[in-house]
């Protein structure tokens, strides 16, 4: 009697194993997140891919129902994790529902339904919040770098068209404004730097990624994105300053470099920041304050003052508002302004009570960036990438599931080693702990089986007495 044991090759994932099922689930979640990201894009004719206007607009809008179906397929029991961030977003949903019930218009109804479906999709993704591998953060970074890749492709294919707007880089493969490209570059570059400071990204990939992002950011000539990125890195770095020697060295080198730059090339920096504008243009924020004055002077009833006029394209008399707070006042009233402020305050408070580590630093970077950008850009009052940024920040601040798992175990955690992350214990078990226990049991079982088969083989091969 003999037995043959076939050992899987190292790194192979057995079909129908928990690891294989988890990989399939993560793949579906990644596709759903990419569709949600694509839904935030707008289409303006004139790019390299010259689609008819109605088709170009239908493609991103059709991504939302597909994302919702994908999320339901991986979460068929509609399980959710309670959290304050999305509860506050539900208040904005209720606000827009109240205004649309008073004076329904097709555009307003469509935007309200879209926001409702978007928030539902985010709720159904909450079982993947707080994962030790920071899944949603990695998916958001992947989407940002893919979008920046299309911008670089357009710059190489048609540099004249990519720089046609006052010499500022914009997307032409898929039409993207210069401010939108700058936002993607600033967030991707800032997150990469924070991950490198936390020793979760190696030096060469971090250098390449950050270099490309900074080059794109400088070509867009967008001051808000640059200032918000620097402030975000500063806040995130300070949260790691006392527990990471790399962060202290980075700040020292940064201060020395900035001092030398101010002394030697201050004229070039001032010219880049001025962007050829006059003093009146700079103080008026490129004419934004004129539009803001129109929003404040618009006649409104007491109901419209409290709940707003409903969701629109965030413009007044055909002019963009370009401010999250005035946009919220226009569309959701004072109630919406208070809710938006509550979202940011809650994320800051939740970050303050988190242990020092990479998750807290990443969340602080995203919240700081969105806070500064909200003054000169339409941010998270409606469906936008800013809403996805804040969702990622909220997911990083949510504690991992303890003692029970909703879905299959995840990959080993990225961890907070060396950055002061929380220590593991019985109350902080994650999916990685379960995976390690399963692996140990498999090894023990294989060892016992090998010993039994060796005994059987020795008995069968011994001569009969």
pLDDT in tens, 200-214: 999 999 999 999 999
For residue 341, count other CB atoms closer than 10 A to its CB: 13
Angle, in degrees to the nearest 10, between helices 324-352 and 288-297: 100
CB 191 within 8 A of CB 137: yes
Which one, of 143, 165, 170, lies nearest residue 155 by Cα?
170
The average pLDDT across 365-377 equals 94
Residue 30 has pLDDT above 50, yes or no: yes
CB-based burial of residue 72 (10 Å sphere; 0-12 exposed, 13-18 middle, 19+ buried)?
Answer: middle
**pLDDT category of residue 409 using cuts at 50, 70 and 90:** very low
For 113-131, what is each residue's pLDDT tens digit? 999 999 999 999 999 999 9
Does residue 371 sit within a domain?
yes
What is the pTM for the complete model shown? 0.83
CB 186 within 8 A of CB 226: yes
Residue 345 has pLDDT above 90, yes or no: yes
Helix, strand and coil percent figures for the chain, each rounded to 5 = 65, 0, 30
Count of domains observed in the chain: 1
Which one, of 393, 394, 381, lies nearest residue 89 by Cα?
381
**pLDDT category of residue 461 using cuts at 50, 70 and 90:** very low
Taking every pair of C-alpha atoms in the chain, what is the biggest distance, in angstroms? 108
Give percent of the chain with pLDDT exceeding 70. Answer: 80
Name the DSSP letter for residue 168.
Answer: B
Q: Which residues pair with 320 in a beta bridge?
A: 315
The average pLDDT across 241-245 equals 92
The residue ranking higher by pLDDT, 148 or 4, is: 148
Q: In whole angstroms, what is the distance from residue 15 CA to residue 35 CA?
A: 27
Q: In whole angstroms, what is the distance from residue 430 CA to residue 120 CA?
A: 26
What's the pLDDT score for residue 10?
59
Residue 54 has pLDDT above 60, yes or no: yes
Q: In whole angstroms, what is the distance from residue 424 CA to residue 16 CA?
A: 29
What's the pLDDT score for residue 7?
57
The average pLDDT across 427-432 equals 39
Does residue 229 sit within a domain?
no
Does residue 448 sit within a domain?
no
What's the pLDDT score for residue 15?
62
**CB-based contacts of 436, cutoff 8 Å, min separation 6:** none
Lowest mean pLDDT among 18-32, 390-404, 421-435: 421-435
Domain interval for residue 102: 18-147+297-401
Distances (CA, A) of 422 to 196, 335, 357, 366, 418: 19, 37, 8, 21, 11
Residue 358 has pLDDT above 50, yes or no: yes
Residue 433 has pLDDT above 80, yes or no: no
Strands 319-320 and 315-316, how do they pair? antiparallel
Does residue 164 sit within a domain?
no
For 59-96, what is each residue's pLDDT tens digit? 999 999 999 999 999 999 999 999 999 999 999 999 99
Does residue 362 sit within a domain?
yes
Angle, in degrees to the nearest 10, between helices 178-197 and 223-240: 20
With b for 16 or more beta-carbon neighbours within 10 A and e for fewer, the 384-414 pattern comes to bbbbbbbbbbbbbbbebbeeeeebbbbbebb
Does residue 425 sit within a domain?
no
Q: In whole angstroms, what is the distance from residue 243 CA to residue 103 CA?
A: 55
Q: Considering the chain, what is the average pLDDT of its residues? A: 83
């Amino acid at each position: 009697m003999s037995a043959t044991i076939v050992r899987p090759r190292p790194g192979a994932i057995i079909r129908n194993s928990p690891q294989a099922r988890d990989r399939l689930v993560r793949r579906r979640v990644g596709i759903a997140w990419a569709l949600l990201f694509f839904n935030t894009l707008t289409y303006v004719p004139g790019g390299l891919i010259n689609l008819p206007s109605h088709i170009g607009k239908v493609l991103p809008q059709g991504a939302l129902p597909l994302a919702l179906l994908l999320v339901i397929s991986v979460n068929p029991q509609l399980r959710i994790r309670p959290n304050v961030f999305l509860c506050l977003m539900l208040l904005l949903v209720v606000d827009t529902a109240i205004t649309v019930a008073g004076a329904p218009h097709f555009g307003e109804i469509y935007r309200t339904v879209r926001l409702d479906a978007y928030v539902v999709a985010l709720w159904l993704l909450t079982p993947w919040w707080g994962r030790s591998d920071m899944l949603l953060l990695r998916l958001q970074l992947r989407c940002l770098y893919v979008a920046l890749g299309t911008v670089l492709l357009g710059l190489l294919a048609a540099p004249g068209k990519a720089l046609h707007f006052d010499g500022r880089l914009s997307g032409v493969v898929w039409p993207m404004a210069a401010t939108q490209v700058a936002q993607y570059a600033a967030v991707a570059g800032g997150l990469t730097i924070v991950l490198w400071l936390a020793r979760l990204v190696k030096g060469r990939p971090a250098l390449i990624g950050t270099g490309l992002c900074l080059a794109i950011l400088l070509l867009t000539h967008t001051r808000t994105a640059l200032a918000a990125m620097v402030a975000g890195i500063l806040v995130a770095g300070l949260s790691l300053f006392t527990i990471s020697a790399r962060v202290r060295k980075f700040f020292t080198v940064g201060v020395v470099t900035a001092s030398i730059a101010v002394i030697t090339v201050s004229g070039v920096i001032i010219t880049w920041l001025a962007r050829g504008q006059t003093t009146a243009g700079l103080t008026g924020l490129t004419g934004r304050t004129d539009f803001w004055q129109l929003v404040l002077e618009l006649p409104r009833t007491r109901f419209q003052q409290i709940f707003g006029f409903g969701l629109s394209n965030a413009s007044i008399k055909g002019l963009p508002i370009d401010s999250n707070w005035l946009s919220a006042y226009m569309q959701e009233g004072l109630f919406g302004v208070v809710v938006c402020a509550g979202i940011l305050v809650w994320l800051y408070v939740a970050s303050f009570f988190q242990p020092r580590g990479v998750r807290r630093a990443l969340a602080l970077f995203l919240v700081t960036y969105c806070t500064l950008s909200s003054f000169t850009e339409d941010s998270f009052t409606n469906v936008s990438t800013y809403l996805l940024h804040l969702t990622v920040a909220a997911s990083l601040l949510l504690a991992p599931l303890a003692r029970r798992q909703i879905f299959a175990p995840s990959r080993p955690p990225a961890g907070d080693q060396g950055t002061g992350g929380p220590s593991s214990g019985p109350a902080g078990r994650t999916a990685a702990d379960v995976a390690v226990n399963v692996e140990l049991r498999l090894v023990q079982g294989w060892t016992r089986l090998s010993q039994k088969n060796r005994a059987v083989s020795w008995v069968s091969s011994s001569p009969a007495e």
